[in-house]
Every structure is written in C-alpha cells, then in structure tokens.
C-alpha cells in the first residue's frame, strides 16, 4: 500500500474509542470463528503468559507505512489492542514504510522487528538476509495447522506468500484493484436504477451522466494499468503469455484492443476525464462526477471527500464481453526482520499471528474496506456487509483473484506501460500501436533487458 | 628594508608604523645591531605565534561547516562516483564490478534521453523567465515607500513556504474541471487547458508553479543589485539626453550584469536539480507519459523506486556533467556581456 500524504488527525478521544471498538470487535469476533474456536492468537497468547508475567515485557517495534486517514487510525488501534491483551509483549508502532526504509534500516542496525512490506522489495530483503523464513514458526508448536491455514486464508492469498520452498511473508491486507464507486444522486438524476454490472454499462451510464450537463462527467480516473488489465481479461484477452509464464507481456489481442478502444472513446467523448494522483477523489467530492474506478481500499478516502453530501454506491469489478469479471489484487504483507533476541523474535511471531488473524483482519476490513483474507474473516464480515452495501459490493469471488508477478523488474515495466497507456488515452498513439509497444517495452523491462 | 622598520605586523608591515618596544626581559644593555637583531627575531616569533593562533582559530571556525560538507556532500558524492562503476546491491550482497556498463546503458536508454530533453526544455523555460521577471519586478519594487516594502515582502513570501505543501495546493489550481487557472482563462474568454493532465502542458505547468514559488529570492537579489547602482551615472546619462529605456539598457543593465549572471547560474543549477515540485505535481510518477520526468527525477526513480543504485549513480554523474557543461558555456558567453566595474 502506498503511503498516503495528508493531515494526520488523531484526537485522543477517537483513538480511545477506536481501541475500545477494536476490543469489542475482537471479543465478538473471537466467538464466531469456527476454524479457531477457542480464541484468536491474541487471546490465547494473552492467557498463557499472563500466569507468570515477566517483570518487563519484551519490547518489539512494528513499521507500517500507513501514515494517515482511516488506515492509520485502524493500525494504531490494533497495536493498542495487542498491547492491552498481551502484557508480556509491548509493540511500538512507527508509521514508517518498511518497504522503502527497511533495508537501509537493517544495514544501519536499526531495523524494526516486524515490518509491513511490499512484495516488490522481497527479493532485495531476502538477498540481504534482512528477513527471516517464517516456515519454522508456521510449522512450529505455536504455528498454524493445515486446517487453520485453509480456514484463515484463501488459496490465492496463501500462494502469494510463498517463495519456492520458503515463506517470508504472512498475509496482512488484500484489496481489489478494480471496483466501482458511484454517486447515487447523479445516478438517480440520470435515470440509472442499478449499479453497472458490465463495462458496457459503465460506459452507457457515464454517457447518461455527462449528458446531464452543467459540468457533469461520467467518470474521473487516474489512468492505471490495473483496471485496464482487469478489463482486458474480462473481455477475453490476456495480459501475459500464459499464467505460468509471466515474464512476457501479451497484450496485442482482441480483448485488450476492445478495452483500450472503450477507454479511449470515453476520454475522447468527454465522458471520462483523466486526473493525476488522487485528483479523482477531489473531483468526485465536488459532486459532478458519476463514477470512480478505484481500489476497494479507496473507499474511506472517496467517501471522506464526499463528506456526506450524497450517498456513495459500490460495485465489484464489472464483467466484460467474456461474461466474467477479473479481480487483480494487491496489498502488503508482514515480514519478520532478522534482528533482535530469540525472545523478541518469538514475540514478533505472536504479533504477526495476531495481525494476520481473522478477527484482527475483520477489524481492519471494516475500517478500511480491504477484503477478507480467508473464509473465516469473510464469515465474520457478513453481518457488517449486510449493513454496508457499498462495501459489500466491492467483495468478489476469491477464485477470480490474481496478483502481479513478483519480479523486481515489474515496477519499471509498470511505469513504462503506464506511459504508453497515457499516450493512447490522450490520442497521441493509436490503440493497436499502443498494445504492440506495451508488449515490446513491457517485456524488455520485465526480462531485465532494459533497466528502469 | 631597514631592520629597524620591522613591525609587529611582520616584515611587510611598512616603515610608517612605530618600532617595537624593547622585548620584555630582553638584553636591554646590548648594543645597536645586536639589540636590533634580537628585537627582529622576537618580533618574528611573536608574529608567527599570532599567525598560528589565528590559523587555529580559523580552522576551529571552519570545522563545523567543513564537517557538514564532508559528511553530507563530499563523502556521498565520492560514494556515488564509486557506485556508478559497480552493480551495487545494499549490504554489498552480489555486488560486482560493472566498469562503464551503467553509463553505456544510461546513454542507450530511451527514457534517459526523454529526461534530458525535458530537463533542457524546463531550463529553457525557467532561466529567461526567472531572470527577466526578477529584474522587472525588482525595478518595479525598488521604490521608496511603505507599500513597496510590503509588496517586496509579498513577493518573497512564496519562497519561504514548503514546496511540497504548496505544490499540492497548486494541484487544485491546475484542476481542469474546477481549478482557478482555468477559471481565469475562462474569464479572459480563453479555452480551458488540461494543465497537468496533458503531455504538452504538464512541464509548463510545473514551470509556472516553480516561478511562483522561487521568484521572490531572485527579486530580492536583483533589488539589492539595482539599489547599488550609482545614481550619478544614471543622472549623468539623463543630462546627456538619454531616455529611461536608454538609461536602463546602457547604464543600469551593464552595471547589474554580474548579478544577472549570478542569477543565470543559480537558476540553471536550481532548475536542473528541481525535484520536489515535480514529484508532488505529477503524483510521484513523472507523467503523463514521462512528460515531467526530468533527469533528477529519473535518478530518484531508478535508485529509490527500482533499487538500481549504481545505475542511478551513473545517471547522476551524467547530470553533473550536463550541469558543468552548461555552466561553463554560460561562463564563456558571459565574457561578452557581463561588465565588471
């Protein structure tokens, strides 16, 4: 998750309320978790050492780059709850990105014990022996059973944690990168009665909203490859040569051309306006934009910019001409840095299990609109989803979830392809030519032939 | 020089100064030349001791600044220079010798040349605009009176604001739907511009912001230069029949040309090193479609987004060469138009 800039509002009252709410949520969630019926890791760990607590708790540090907004508040509340329920361990949270600063901190001998990291930096961290293989802990006495793993994590999520025979990561947060948020008031004015279920409906709805006039636009979007890739797949196309060979882009296909033509047409007609950064949130908040194509975790920010002026609706990734949808996912994971004493490493594992547990994940999802990591968390989320339809709509079937290749070269390829997408959307390059360029340049970067 | 003329200032002190008094505890009864020789040696020793003490004091005063430069400028620069010749990975794991490979890769990299073009285009926009507007505003604001003082403060004010924070504010101004910039164009009967969303207008938009943010400093420097121009020369020109334009062109501008040259140099270097406003205004992407990717931005992206530290260091060295080349070129051209009194 990219760090968000912005004002950090953390009144003490809200912090206390959030901590209390998390306590209540965890207490409630713990009883409903059938796969781990006795307790969450936090509760079990809290009860065991409480019998003979040491004079001073084991001190560990946690770095995560959630520095603002709802995400920051949620992680602060989670850490506070952990500290309250684990008297033998004390976690100090620092809103520092472990992906960006973790390796340098490790080199300086100041690495955190636990860090929230992006998969793109995993290779560097492993090469430098900066993080530990968690297999020992997972398979150990206080680890996770096979049944617990299958209950707590969807197969796609658990598979994303594996690096060959090693596992350096534990699941923390996953978000869908293509969801639809919409302005229900504008939809009503335009006579649209339901959320769009297909990309063609998205385009048709955008036209109707733009036709309302007075500066209204159907869609505001900061061009991103992720929704484009989902559109390609839902239109029957492919992004990579095969799902097993993801070193070669293969976007020069009919599905990709249909997706790019649709987007280019929306821009050319003025039904879609292009923004930079998080500009689409500001535009949406003004009330003149009908639809946002955003990540599920953008909800708290999008809704925040609206400030209650209208109701925000939600929908999962629309389907394409193939009849199905695609849901590219991402999100950061937990790693244990190769630092500290044995006691600190054991405490770090306890903390990692706590953050990755269904009950903590449920609290996180409810406050940030990330998606459940597994069936257990989804079960816990059901009552919340029943009351919060916009958030519920952004959840999609996990069997369709997919992740970007975990290659150190992917970020450079992504930047290059985004540049080409920008040019195509602005009419500087024809869609067909853009796709050919994407394949050529993307593969050059991804294979390491050209360095970014 | 006569021996008796040597003073406490040393042998070059000049004969007008009074001779040293007899050395305390010296040989008061010694006769002429011997006594003078002793006094000369004593004076030399005192002078040397004083010079040494002054030297030590000077070194002590310089140490903090020198340490700062050493730790935060020269040492990192030396490391970066060395890095450019390796395939370096943090902690030294798998680091191998690369020779000139990083330089060859950079010079053969398409985006590197896009960044060079953008950097030069940005400099071509910024240097003439900054210098001419600074002199113009300085000429307008170098007037006596309370209100001009307030205006000078107002012009300087943006310079003291944090670049990233104000750049985020300017994102709103450049918003093509609801921004102030397009509202202004609309009120003038002009069509709206896509500003930061356009590959054509993104870099000029960054230049507009940078002008707003940085011009105040240049105005203050130009104001100081204008204030130092001798009035009698301007008055003499007027007496000889020169109008205001002629006075400005033939008297004032030549007299402030060293300052203008200074502004050209620092604007060139500052422009080529621009980063924070580009990062903030492009959402950290350098886009759209590399439209705002300058060399320094590319160096940052290469080193700290993609973790290719050595490759980024090689690009940084090429940027240094570019800055050095441009500075030398400007220095060479300046011989034709800079007038030193």
Query: A166-167 and A162-163: which strand pairing?
Result: antiparallel
Segment (H or E) for A389: helix A389-393
Q: Answer whether B283 sits within 8 Å of A106, measured CB to CB.
A: no
pLDDT at B335: 82
Mean pLDDT, to the nearest integer, of A21-38?
A: 38
B204: nearest Cα among B297, B115, B124, B290: B124
B309 and B226 co-located in one domain: yes
Domain-embedded: residue B85? no
Shortest distance, CA B72 to any CA of chain A (angstroms): 17
Listed residue (B19, B10, B4) closest to B44, CA to CA = B10
DSSP 3-state of A187: helix
Domain extent for B126: 101-337
pLDDT tens digits for range B162-197: 988 899 899 989 988 888 999 999 999 999 898 998
Distance of CA A18 to the CA centre of its chain: 21
| CA dist., res. B261 & res. A13, Å (int) | 57
Give me the CATH number covering residue B144.
1.10.3720.10
Please name the residues in contact with B262: beta carbons below 8 A apart, sequence gap of 6 or more.
Answer: B221
Q: Are residues B176 and B310 in the same domain?
A: yes
**Cα B78-B83-B87 angle, rounded to 5 deg:** 175
Which residues in A lie closer than 8 A to residue B105 (C-beta atoms)?
Answer: 451
ipTM computed for the complex: 0.70
The reply to whether residue A276 touches residue B288, judged by beta carbons under 8 angstroms, is yes
Task: Write the pLDDT tens digit of every residue in A50-107.
Answer: 445 557 899 999 999 999 889 999 999 999 999 999 999 999 999 999 998 998 899 8
Total domains, chain B: 2
Q: Which of B93, B109, B167, B306 to mutate to test the interface with A (most CBs of A within 10 A)?
A: B306
Q: Do B219 and B167 lie in a common domain?
A: yes
Q: Residue A27: its pLDDT value, please?
A: 39
The answer on B180 and B300 residing in a single domain is yes
Q: Does A412 touch chain B (CB under 8 A)?
A: yes
Least confident of A123-127, A300-304, A323-327, B40-44: B40-44
Percent of chain A with pLDDT over 70: 87
Q: Inter-chain contact B306–A452, Cβ cutoff 8 Å?
A: yes
Does residue B239 belong to any structural domain of this protein?
yes
B77 within a domain of the structure (yes/no): no
In this prediction, residues A250-265 reach a mean pLDDT of 97
- Tens digits of per-residue pLDDT, A347-374? 999 999 999 999 999 999 999 999 999 9
The answer to whether the CB atoms of B89 and A288 lie below 8 A apart is no
Mean pLDDT over the full length of chain A? 87
Please, which pLDDT band fits residue A408 given cuts at 50, 70 and 90?
A: confident
**Pair B230, B126 in one domain:** yes
pLDDT given for residue B43 in this prediction: 84
pLDDT at position B23: 45
Residue B24 lies in a domain: yes
Check residue B4 and give its pLDDT.
Answer: 39
Q: Is A278 on the interface with B (CB under 8 A)?
A: yes
Answer for the pair A262, A317: CB distance below 8 angstroms, yes or no.
no
- Give me B331's structure tokens: 């220095």
List the single residue in B with minimal CA-CA distance to A106: B91
* pLDDT above 50 for A191: yes
Q: Contact, A115 vs A64, CB < 8 A?
A: yes
Q: CATH says A12-174+331-373 is which class?
A: alpha beta
Q: Which residues contact A447 (CB under 8 A, 6 or more apart)?
A: A247, A248, A409
pLDDT at A66: 94
Strands A179-183 and A289-294: antiparallel
How many Å apart are CA A226 and CA A203, to the nearest integer?
A: 18
Number of helices (H), then strands (E), belonging to chain B: the values are 14, 2
Q: Using the predicted structure, report yes or no on whether residue A7 has a pLDDT greater than 90.
A: no
Residue B96: its chain A contacts at CB < 8 A?
Answer: none
pLDDT of residue A54: 57
Cis peptide before B40 (omega within 30 of 0): no
Residues B14 and B160 placed together within one structural domain of the fold: no
Same domain? For B126 and B50 the reply is no
List chain B residues with pLDDT less than 50: 1-30
Write out the DSSP string of A51-117.
Answer: GS--SSPEEEEEE----SHHHHHHHHHHHHHHHHH-TTEEEEEE---HHHHHHHHHHTT---SEEEE
User: What is the Cα–Cα distance from B296 to B71, expressed in whole angstroms?
Assistant: 21
pLDDT computed for residue B20 by the predictor: 47
The reply to whether B88 falls in a domain is no
Same domain, B209 and B295: yes
- pLDDT for A175: 93
pLDDT of residue B96: 87
B203 and B276 in a single domain? The answer is: yes
Separation between Cα atoms, residue A299 and residue A286, nearest integer Å: 16
Tell me where in chain A the CATH 3.40.190.10 domain(s) lie: 12-174+331-373, 177-329+403-446
Q: Does residue B81 belong to any structural domain of this protein?
A: no
Q: Which has more pLDDT, A16 or B168?
A: B168
Cα(A230)–Cα(A318) distance, integer angstroms: 9
Nearest to B89 among A127, A283, A451 (CB): A127
Q: Which comes out higher in pLDDT, residue A20 or A357?
A: A357
Q: Is A224 on the interface with B (CB under 8 A)?
A: no
Q: Does domain A177-329+403-446 have CATH number 1.10.600.10?
A: no
Say how many CB pairs under 8 Å bridge A and B: 102
Distance from the Cα of B123 to chain A's closest Cα (Å) equals 23
CB-CB neighbors (< 8 A) of A283 in chain B: 175, 177-178
Q: Is residue B243 in a domain?
A: yes
pLDDT of residue B339: 74
């Amino acid at each position: 998750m990219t760090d968000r800039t912005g004002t950090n509002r953390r009144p003490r009252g809200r912090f206390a309320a959030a901590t209390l709410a998390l306590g209540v949520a965890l207490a409630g969630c713990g009883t409903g978790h059938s796969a781990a019926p006795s307790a969450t890791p936090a509760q079990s760990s809290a009860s065991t050492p409480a019998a003979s607590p040491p004079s001073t708790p084991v001190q560990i540090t946690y770095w995560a780059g959630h520095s603002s907004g709802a995400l920051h508040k949620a992680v602060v509340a989670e850490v506070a709850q952990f500290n309250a329920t684990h008297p033998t361990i004390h976690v100090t949270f620092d809103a520092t990105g472990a992906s960006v600063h973790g390796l340098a901190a490790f080199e300086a001998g100041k690495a955190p014990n636990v860090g929230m990291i992006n998969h793109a930096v995993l290779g560097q961290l492993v090469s430098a022996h900066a993080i530990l293989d968690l297999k020992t802990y997972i398979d150990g006495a206080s680890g996770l059973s096979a049944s617990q793993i299958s209950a707590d994590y969807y197969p796609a999520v658990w598979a994303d944690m594996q690096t060959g025979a090693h596992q350096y990561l534990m699941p923390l947060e996953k978000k869908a990168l293509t969801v639809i948020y919409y302005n229900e008031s504008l939809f009503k004015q335009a006579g649209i009665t339901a959320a769009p279920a297909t990309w063609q409906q998205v385009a048709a709805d955008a036209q109707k909203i733009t036709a309302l006039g007075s500066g209204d636009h159907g869609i505001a979007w900061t061009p991103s490859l992720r929704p484009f890739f989902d559109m390609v797949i839902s239109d029957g196309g492919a992004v990579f040569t095969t799902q097993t060979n993801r070193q070669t882009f293969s976007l020069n296909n009919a599905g990709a051309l249909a997706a790019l033509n649709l987007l280019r047409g929306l821009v050319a007609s003025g039904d879609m306006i292009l923004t930079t950064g998080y500009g689409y949130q500001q535009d949406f908040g003004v009330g003149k934009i009908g639809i946002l194509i955003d990540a599920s975790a953008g909800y708290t920010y999008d809704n925040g910019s609206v400030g209650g002026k209208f109701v925000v609706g939600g929908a999962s990734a629309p389907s394409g001409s193939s009849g199905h949808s695609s849901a590219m996912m991402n999100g950061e994971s937990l790693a244990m840095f190769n630092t500290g004493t044995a006691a600190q490493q054991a405490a770090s594992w306890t903390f990692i299990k706590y953050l990755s547990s269904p009950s903590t994940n449920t609290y996180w999802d409810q406050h940030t609109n990330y998606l459940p990591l597994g069936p257990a968390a989804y079960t816990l989320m059901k009552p919340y989803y029943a009351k919060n339809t916009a958030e519920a709509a952004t959840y999609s079937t996990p069997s369709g979830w997919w992740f970007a290749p975990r290659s150190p070269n992917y970020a450079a390829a992504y930047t290059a392809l985004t540049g080409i997408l920008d040019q195509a959307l602005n009419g500087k390059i024809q869609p067909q030519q853009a796709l050919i360029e994407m394949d050529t340049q993307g593969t050059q970067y991804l294979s390491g032939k050209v360095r970014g | 020089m006569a021996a008796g003329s040597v003073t406490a200032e040393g042998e070059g002190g000049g004969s007008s100064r009074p001779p040293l008094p007899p050395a305390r505890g010296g040989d008061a009864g010694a006769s002429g030349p011997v006594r003078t020789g002793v006094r000369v040696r004593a004076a030399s020793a005192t002078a040397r001791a004083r010079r040494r003490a002054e030297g030590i004091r000077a070194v002590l005063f310089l140490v903090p600044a020198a340490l700062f430069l050493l730790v935060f400028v020269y040492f990192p620069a030396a490391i970066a220079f060395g890095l450019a010749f390796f395939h370096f990975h943090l902690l030294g794991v798998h680091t191998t010798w690369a020779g000139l490979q990083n330089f060859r890769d950079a010079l053969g990299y398409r985006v590197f040349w896009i960044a060079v073009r953008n950097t030069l285009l940005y400099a071509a926009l910024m240097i003439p605009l900054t210098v001419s507007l600074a002199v113009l505003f300085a000429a307008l604001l170098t007037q006596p009176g309370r209100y001009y003082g307030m205006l000078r403060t107002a012009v300087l004010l943006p310079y003291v604001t944090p670049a990233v924070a104000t750049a985020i504010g300017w994102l709103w101004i450049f918003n093509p739907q609801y921004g102030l910039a397009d509202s202004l164009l609309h009120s003038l009967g002009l069509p709206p511009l896509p500003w930061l969303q356009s590959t054509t207008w993104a870099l000029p938009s960054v230049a507009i912001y940078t002008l707003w943010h940085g011009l105040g400093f240049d105005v203050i420097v130009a104001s100081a230069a204008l204030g130092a121009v001798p009035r009698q020369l301007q008055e003499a020109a007027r007496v000889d029949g020169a109008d205001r334009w002629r006075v400005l062109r033939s008297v004032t501008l030549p007299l402030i040309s060293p300052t203008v040259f200074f502004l050209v140099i620092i604007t060139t270097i500052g422009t080529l090193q621009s980063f924070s406003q580009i990062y903030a205004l492009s959402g950290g992407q350098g886009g759209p479609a590399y439209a705002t990717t300058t060399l320094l931005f590319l160096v940052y992206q290469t080193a700290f987004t993609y973790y290719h530290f050595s490759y980024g260091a090689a690009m940084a060295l090429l940027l240094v060469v570019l800055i050095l080349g441009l500075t030398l070129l400007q220095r060479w051209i300046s011989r034709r138009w800079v007038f030193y009194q």
